[in-house]
Structure 1
Amino acid sequence: MNEVVVSPDAEERIPLKDYTEKAYLDYSMYVILDRALPNIGDGLKPVQRRIVYAMSELGLKATAKFKKSARTVGDVIGKFHPHGDSAAYESMVLMAQPFSYRYTLVDGQGNWGSPDDPKSFAAMRYTESRLARYSEVLLEELGQGTVDWQPNFDGTMDEPKVLPARVPNVLLNGTTGIAVGMATDIPPHNLREVVEACIHLLDNPKADVNELCQFIQGPDMPTEAELITPREDLIKMYQTGRGSLRMRGVWTREKDSGDIIITALPHQVSGAKILEQIAAQMQAKKLPMVTDLRDESDHENPTRLVITPRSNRVDAEQLMQHLFASTDLEKTYRVNMNMIGIDGRPGVKSLDVILSEWLSFRTVTTRRRLQFRLDKVQKRLHLLEGLLIAYLNIDEVIHIIRTEDEPKAVLMERFKLSDVQADYILDTKLRQLARLEEMKIRGEQEALEKERDQLEKTLGSATRLKTLIRKELQQVAKEYGDDRRSPIVQREEAQAFSETELIGVDPVTVVVSEKGWIRSAKGHEIDPAALNYKAGDSFKFAVRGKTNQSVMLLDSTGRSYAIAAHNLPSARGQGEPLSGRLNPPNGATFEGALMGSDEQRVLLASDAGYGFVAKLGDLYSKNRAGKAMLSLPKGGRVLAPQVLENPEKDLLAAVSNEGRLLVFPVTELPELARGKGNKIMNIPSARVQSREEYVIAVGVIAEGQSLTLHAGKRHLTLKAGDLDHYRGERGRRGNKLPRGFQKVDRAEVS
């Protein structure tokens, strides 16, 4: 034997970098073209196309009996799609779920999942399936020479490269997929709207996206939830092929019970998950206005989630806005219209390009179908022509067949027949030679000639071809079209409740002790001085407000602070020190507190005789160290802040420790955000610094109120008429009080 020696040079050696790069690129293109992206022609990925084709080959039309799904999956993976059975079955399940596909391709019997859990379907050995009626739109023209065929993975049979779809299924059912370096997210659309847009583009090939959007209002999901994406965003999405969609659940409020009923959820949103999200907020005490939650969904009402508000006074609109912002009751979907075009290349396409390419595909498909039919008609006419010759010369034909050794050649020569005609005559059964057969032959010949002429006219005229495509589109829309399910509405952006909005608006009294301990009591009727205090501590001041407000505190250095009232310790205990929540300067004490709206006007003053009007919101500070609010002159101290109920009419009364009283309108003081303020009462600064003279108290007197001054055990009440004696211009010294009131302890307004 001769020994074959292989030279080392015969081996192919390439760098690892080049090999891995080529291998990865090959894999990438395989995933992109053969797995993840849909074809613009039929809108299907290869696995979906193979499932539909395998089912049609099994005879599982919409009118056939159901067959076990395992049988279909077996054919799919055994003949066309050499991948896992679970992946193929899951693709098949999605095509059968009416809540996943806008126009289902598979008709399922058994457990095919539910909107709450789409993957809860039974195993393929339990379920049965057949093709849905809509699948005829993809398969009807398959055997009519309309598409190219390719060998399957092992070369034993052929499969269609694409199905001859009669409508742009790529938009109707949409799809999602992740390839290598690219993904696709095409939303479903309404059949009638898409067909109208196609017809318009057929008649107006230069129509732009704005024109087409007069017919296609927007995506149409297989759910009745609202599509709330603004119109301009939808148009931009169709122009670029990229964007996002927002869907929002539909709800009503029952008049009798006051319950909120959610009747539709966004696409692919689980009702169970929604209830779980709301329940989590209830447990976290972030939904105090909701008392109960239940799922009443059944066969008659596929979606019926019930939310029971605490009372009929709860603003349902506001509550739902919060839920839209904080749960999946409102969901955003990515749109990326990436698909394999008619050139076989992947790309993100705008709406006009998608429809134009599909119409080009449809035109080629229709032309191929007509040509295929024309070829069949011409072949049949040729056979009928030979058969008619034989019938008219039947005796001679029979004689030739009986007597000649090679009757075929003799027949061809005698009657000028073609090879095909001669074979057909020889294969004809005797029963077809009956007397009435001539009438049938001539009738069929006449009908076929008429059809041939019609086909030739259509193929030879672009206008006739367009008319045919238009009629076929309209026929599909009439047969399979339905009304839009997802209404497109304009809605304002949802806002979740802020922390203060989630707190109940209940009356509360905040109490601060001499030692700086703070606590909160429910209601306004409580007597703060009667509360229990620590040994050596006592009541200092209290303020009334609501649980959803902040407590504004002013310390002895003029700094202001804010604490949320709802999380203060209860007055049943002794509270907690303010120093645990705030960081005031060393030695500072708290001199007053205020509660109310941010626009509430307040009076801030120092005992040096200076002050100004501020908004309550100006005192707010997020910092533990507060912020500088009232500037103190040297030797001055902070007076308790006062609330102004009616700044335009209120009077300001200032009393000094020397027994002087000055009354003037509050309007004479400026409104500032912070600072020292203007002079209220004229007290020499040297006397303030030495603490010989200072303002002992300021009071705000509303219309109809009186001022009571206390000096030891004596008191003096001054009514409106009495106060006139002490009125003067802001910044004056004021008038002397009667004997016995040269040393005023405090002043009260009542």
Structure 2
Amino acid sequence: MTDDIALPEADERIALKDYTEKAYLDYSMYVILDRALPHIGDGLKPVQRRIVYAMSELGLKASAKYKKSARTVGDVIGKFHPHGDSASYEAMVLMAQPFSYRYTLVDGQGNWGSPDDPKSFAAMRYTESRLTKYSEVLLEELGQGTVDWQPNFDGTLEEPMVLPARVPNVLLNGTTGIAVGMATDIPPHNLREVVNACVHLLDNPQATINDLCQHILGPDMPTEAEIISPREELIKMYETGRGSVRMRAVWQKDEESGDIIITALPHQVSGAKILEQIAAQMQAKKLPMVADLRDESDHENPTRLVIIPRSNRVDLEQVMQHLFATTELERTYRVNMNMIGIDGRPAVKSLVKILSEWLSFRTVTTRRRLQHRLEKVEERLLRLAALMVVFLNVDEVIRIIREEDNPKPVLMKRFNLIEMQAEYILETKLRQLARLEEMKILEEKTALEKERDGLLKILDSAVKLKNLVRKELIQIADAFGDDRRSPIVARAEAQALSETELLSVDPVTVVISDKGWIRAAKGHDIDPTGLSYKAGDSFKFAVQGKSNQQVILIDSTGRSYSVPAHNLPSARGQGEPLSGRISPPSGATFEGALMGADTQRVLIASDAGYGFVAKLEDLTSKNKAGKALLTLPEGAQVLPPQLINSPEQVQLAAVSNDGRLLVFPVTELPELAKGKGNKIMNIPAAKVQTREEFVVALAVIHPGQLLTLHSGKRFITLKAADLEHYKGERGRRGNKLPRGFQKVDKAEVSDK
């Protein structure tokens, strides 16, 4: 059997590597040139061009009756585009959606999708369509010798290689596409702006990007949402052909209800999806300032989303800034102006290059149109000359036709005619001879000669040709131009609210036990000593604050830690160990806790008699291991931190264990972020090391407050006048307290 198989000749074989490389390159070039990228001339991909051309061949002009979309799709895939019907229909739907295309090419009747779900369109057997008036701008000059034609896929028909667009549609409607190794993302633009830029470039061929951007302010999407990209970014995008455009929804406050009303969404953003994104944040309790959402969109108001704030005290501007940063109410669009140029090659082009190339294309198209018309005029003039011959010599012409076997050469010789004229005379019907009127022929001849002279003048003058292109562009702008839909507005960058800003602000009391367990109770009126504790554990200290604040903890080694208050376990239970949230050194105990605003001042000190003033924000730490705050001299211990309000009016009282008291203004202490601090009270370092002498208590006394010192069961209350005796310079020993208070246990501050 193998003897019968003809093996290929050696020269017909090809290496697999070479074959696959060529096959992939051929495929990628096909996708780039014949599928995914638009042509600079008409701004259409092949499938779009074929749909528009097939509809024009079916007679579906803007004035015609609608026809079933299935009929159009059948013609497109049967005659010009041998691909899937669903893909062709989807391309057709896109050209009919006013929320997808800035200037629609297809006028659809039926369900063609909605902004919320662009792919919710009905099947092609249900919808009907025809071309829009705007499509004439692409098709009007098609039969006038303006463009080259090519055979269709099976060679039975001809199709245009590009449509003779009278405006730069590649910028007006934009397009997106993914090829092999490259992609395109061209945003839509405003027709009037683009035409004005073209006219400016015609008049000033050396115009720069900045000159053109005086006319083209930026993209113009088919939505009223704002374009918020800075002007410098837009100019750079037009310079390079690459960049991005940011769009932001338009909103306003309802004066009666105080609700947020969103009236316009960014291009291709679904209102339903926006509501889903906001609702998800509400469900996750990340948007406590919003009470409810409503979609009030209808036929009269295509976009009307209502966000109801929890109260009239909510900062709506802040809420919207957060939503812009966390939802698709603000969206960024990639721009990559990649297209097939008039040289047939794909390239990313700047705005100047796009408009220059298109004007070159348009000038050539206009010249071809005029040339084609000139040929038609000259042909008609020759025919009219032949008719005049018949009119003036009708008997002679009839005689030659009757008597001669081959009348064509005789007519040509007798009346000095060319072959086409002789054929035209022979094809003229006898009944027409009776109606031939010399005046009518002469009138038509005069009009055509005048038109011919006008055409020749334009074709012979580059200036007149340019002026004609200019005039026609302005006419189209007058006929189809409209106002900008997407306003360009300068806006600050949206900032999402931090986790603490999003939390509800409730009063809380945070309780820490002796064994280092933590919990939080709502409100400030609870008795922390009355809570239940684990066996062998007991209350150590508590701190009051708000649920959106951090709890600052200071341990016995002088390190500080931060724990968010909002996610602490409830005080109804026994809490959880702090060791699960932070990692203090082994054997360290917690000596104090603080809550308050970031700018709140606090006294940090050791019982060696050193300390400083710090801000709460300096004590916060994102690490589980905390941060080094207070440097402890050898043998010294941390004293509980104390809050300071209005430092200028606050006195600091320091009490040593041998019964001495020193009072001085707290402003004499430095404000530091960390360190050992300055000397508060003069205590010898050796005595601190042996624990013979140390600061037993510090008290921050605000104006009008009293200081009470406890020694066993005895106590003494000192008023402002009594404290005068103990006032001195910072770093002194202080004065001795009365007999019986040589062993002070604690110091308390109370209001009058």
Band of TM-score, shorter chain? over 0.9
- Quote how far apart the aligned CAs of 1:592 are: 1.1
Give the Cα separation in 1 of the matches to 2:370 and 2:581.
Answer: 85
- Quote how far apart the aligned CAs of 1:82 are: 0.9
**Do structure 1's residue 130 and structure 2's residue 133 form an aligned pair?**
no
> 2:193·2:215 contact (CA, 8 Å) conserved in 1?
yes
Letter of the 1:498 counterpart: S
Give the Cα separation in 2 of the matches to 1:435 and 1:281.
Answer: 85
Structure 1 residues 10 and 747: alpha-carbon distance in aligned structure 2, compared to 1, 3 A threshold: closer
Q: Which residue of 1 aligns with 2:743?
A: 743
- Quote how far apart the aligned CAs of 1:628 are: 2.4
The 5-angstrom pairing of residues 295-444 of structure 1 reads 295-434=295-434, 437-444=437-444
Q: Which residue of 2 aligns with 1:60?
A: 60
Give the Cα separation in 1 of the matches to 2:277 and 2:518.
Answer: 36
Is 376-385 or 652-661 further displaced after alignment? 652-661
The 5-angstrom pairing of residues 72-471 of structure 1 reads 72-434=72-434, 437-471=437-471
- Structure 2: give runs of 5+ residues left out of the alignment: none
Q: Which residue of 2 aligns with 1:37?
A: 37
Letter of the 1:697 counterpart: A
Q: Deviations over 1:428-486 (max 9, x none)?
A: 23443346722211111111111011001111111110111011101111111111111
Give the Cα separation in 2 of the matches to 1:25 and 1:134.
Answer: 37
Q: Which residue of 1 aligns with 2:684?
A: 684
Structure 1 residues 661 and 449: alpha-carbon distance in aligned structure 2, compared to 1, 3 A threshold: same
Structure 1 residues 406 and 515: alpha-carbon distance in aligned structure 2, compared to 1, 3 A threshold: closer
Q: Which residue of 2 aligns with 1:585?
A: 585
Is 427-436 or 31-40 further displaced after alignment? 427-436
Structure 1 residues 91 and 734: alpha-carbon distance in aligned structure 2, compared to 1, 3 A threshold: same
Q: Which residue of 1 aligns with 2:662?
A: 662
Q: Which residue of 2 aligns with 1:14?
A: 14
3-state DSSP class of the match of 2:566?
A: helix
> 2:391·2:436 contact (CA, 8 Å) conserved in 1?
no
Is 275-284 or 518-527 further displaced after alignment? 518-527
Length-normalised TM-score, structure 2: 0.96
Is 412-421 or 649-658 further displaced after alignment? 412-421
- Quote how far apart the aligned CAs of 1:741 are: 2.1
Q: Which residue of 1 aligns with 2:612?
A: 612
- Quote how far apart the aligned CAs of 1:6 are: 7.7
Letter of the 1:323 counterpart: L
Give the Cα separation in 1 of the matches to 2:561 and 2:31.
Answer: 62
Give the Cα separation in 2 of the matches to 1:161 and 1:278.
Answer: 48
Runs of 4 or more, structure 1, over 6 Å off, are 4-7
- Quote how far apart the aligned CAs of 1:584 are: 2.3
Give the Cα separation in 2 of the matches to 1:211 and 1:524.
Answer: 66
Structure 1 residues 657 and 431: alpha-carbon distance in aligned structure 2, compared to 1, 3 A threshold: same
Q: Deviations over 1:32-58 (max 9, x none)?
A: 111111111111111111111111001
Q: Which residue of 1 aligns with 2:671?
A: 671
3-state DSSP class of the match of 1:572?
A: coil
Is 349-358 or 588-597 further displaced after alignment? 588-597
Q: Deviations over 1:487-536 (max 9, x none)?
A: 11111111111111111122222122333222212222333334344444
Structure 1 residues 350 and 620: alpha-carbon distance in aligned structure 2, compared to 1, 3 A threshold: same
3-state DSSP class of the match of 1:567?
A: coil
Q: Which residue of 2 aligns with 1:602?
A: 602
Q: Which residue of 1 aligns with 2:645?
A: 645
Give the Cα separation in 1 of the matches to 2:689 and 2:473.
Answer: 96
Q: Which residue of 1 aligns with 2:502?
A: 502
Structure 1 residues 17 and 309: alpha-carbon distance in aligned structure 2, compared to 1, 3 A threshold: same
Give the Cα separation in 1 of the matches to 2:588 and 2:339.
Answer: 71
3-state DSSP class of the match of 2:500?
A: coil
3-state DSSP class of the match of 1:263?
A: strand
Is 252-261 or 138-147 further displaced after alignment? 252-261
- Quote how far apart the aligned CAs of 1:399 are: 4.0
3-state DSSP class of the match of 2:648?
A: coil
The 5-angstrom pairing of residues 498-577 of structure 1 reads 498-577=498-577
- Quote how far apart the aligned CAs of 1:305 are: 1.3
**In percent, how many aligned pairs have the same letter?**
80
Give the Cα separation in 2 of the matches to 1:624 and 1:375.
Answer: 88
- Quote how far apart the aligned CAs of 1:404 are: 4.3
Give the Cα separation in 2 of the matches to 1:145 and 1:701.
Answer: 98
Q: Deviations over 1:534-565 (max 9, x none)?
A: 44443322222111111111122222111111
Q: Which residue of 1 aligns with 2:490?
A: 490
Q: Which residue of 1 aligns with 2:732?
A: 732
Letter of the 1:396 counterpart: E
Give the Cα separation in 2 of the matches to 1:514 and 1:29.
Answer: 76
Give the Cα separation in 2 of the matches to 1:152 and 1:639.
Answer: 91
Length-normalised TM-score, structure 1: 0.97
- Quote how far apart the aligned CAs of 1:184 are: 0.9
- Quote how far apart the aligned CAs of 1:396 are: 3.4
Give the Cα separation in 1 of the matches to 2:294 and 2:411.
Answer: 86
Give the Cα separation in 1 of the matches to 2:733 and 2:504.
Answer: 48
3-state DSSP class of the match of 1:163?
A: coil
Give the Cα separation in 2 of the matches to 1:100 and 1:557.
Answer: 65
Give the Cα separation in 2 of the matches to 1:510 and 1:259.
Answer: 36
Give the Cα separation in 1 of the matches to 2:575 and 2:194.
Answer: 68
Is 218-227 or 501-510 further displaced after alignment? 501-510
- Quote how far apart the aligned CAs of 1:335 are: 0.9
3-state DSSP class of the match of 2:687?
A: helix
Letter of the 2:144 counterpart: Q
Give the Cα separation in 2 of the matches to 1:582 and 1:157.
Answer: 78
Structure 1 residues 452 and 664: alpha-carbon distance in aligned structure 2, compared to 1, 3 A threshold: same
> 2:112·2:120 contact (CA, 8 Å) conserved in 1?
yes
Structure 1 residues 407 and 587: alpha-carbon distance in aligned structure 2, compared to 1, 3 A threshold: closer
Letter of the 2:230 counterpart: P
Give the Cα separation in 1 of the matches to 2:117 and 2:9.
Answer: 61
Give the Cα separation in 1 of the matches to 2:555 and 2:85.
Answer: 75
Letter of the 2:547 counterpart: T
- Quote how far apart the aligned CAs of 1:113 are: 1.0
Q: Deviations over 1:341-389 (max 9, x none)?
A: 1111111111111111111110110000001000000110111111112
- Quote how far apart the aligned CAs of 1:571 are: 2.1
Letter of the 2:337 counterpart: M
3-state DSSP class of the match of 2:667?
A: helix
Give the Cα separation in 1 of the matches to 2:493 and 2:204.
Answer: 37
- Quote how far apart the aligned CAs of 1:7 are: 8.8
3-state DSSP class of the match of 2:510?
A: strand
Q: Which residue of 2 aligns with 1:46?
A: 46
CA RMSD of superposed structures (Å): 1.8
3-state DSSP class of the match of 1:500?
A: helix
Give the Cα separation in 2 of the matches to 1:661 and 1:5.
Answer: 116
> 2:297·2:304 contact (CA, 8 Å) conserved in 1?
yes
Give the Cα separation in 2 of the matches to 1:252 and 1:725.
Answer: 65
3-state DSSP class of the match of 1:648?
A: helix
Q: Deviations over 1:293-350 (max 9, x none)?
A: 1211111111111111111111111111111111111111111111111111111111
Letter of the 1:316 counterpart: L
Letter of the 2:554 counterpart: L
3-state DSSP class of the match of 2:529?
A: helix
- Quote how far apart the aligned CAs of 1:106 are: 0.6
Give the Cα separation in 2 of the matches to 1:405 and 1:514.
Answer: 131
